[in-house]
Amino acid sequence: MHGQVRDSDGRPVPDTLVEVWQANAGGRYLHKWDQHDAPLDPHFAGVGRALTDSLGRYRFVTVKPGAYPWRNHHNAWRPAHIHFSLFGRAFTQRLVTQMYFPDDPLFAHDPIYNSVPEAARHRLVSRFDLSATVEQWALGFEFDIVLRGREATPTEQP
């Protein structure tokens, strides 16, 4: 996955620390509190960090996370998603959001996705990017993050 971090005027934001964390392909986090019975992958830590370049771009190579049950109501599943945390010039400047994958059938059942106003939900969904796909190895997805303004990527509120 790759993307660009931009400000409200569309300008790239260089030198931003982008941190990601996610479940493995089976839908399980490498975390002591995750009790999902999907197997852990001993070769997958589920976290990464990168600085944006001079054009505000970032890139991660990872696995597509699996959906997972989260037991907040009967037959509740979270759609496949990757958590993003962006740090500004200081660690007190932090934004947290989630990136979803296109056309997930669980969108309609996810309270977190549905807590975002309908007109802004598309800003949480990545775009398939054939040009970033590596033949016979990895699919490519693009997810741009806009920090402020009318087109801002929805973030978790403190």
Active site residues: 29, 68, 78, 81, 83
Q: Do the beta carbons of residue 84 and residue 97 sit within 8 Å? A: yes
**CB of 3 closer than 8 Å to CB of 58:** yes
Would you say 85 and 16 are in contact if contact means Cβ atoms under 8 Å apart?
Answer: no
User: Which structure tokens are listed for 52?
Assistant: 């944006």
Distances (CA, A) of 105 to 77, 80, 83, 151: 10, 10, 19, 25
Please say whether the beta carbons of 30 and 43 come within 8 A.
no
Measured CA to CA, the distance from residue 54 to residue 119 in angstroms comes to: 31
Helices (H) and strands (E) in the chain, counts: 1, 11
The span from the CA of 131 to the CA of 11, in Å, is 23
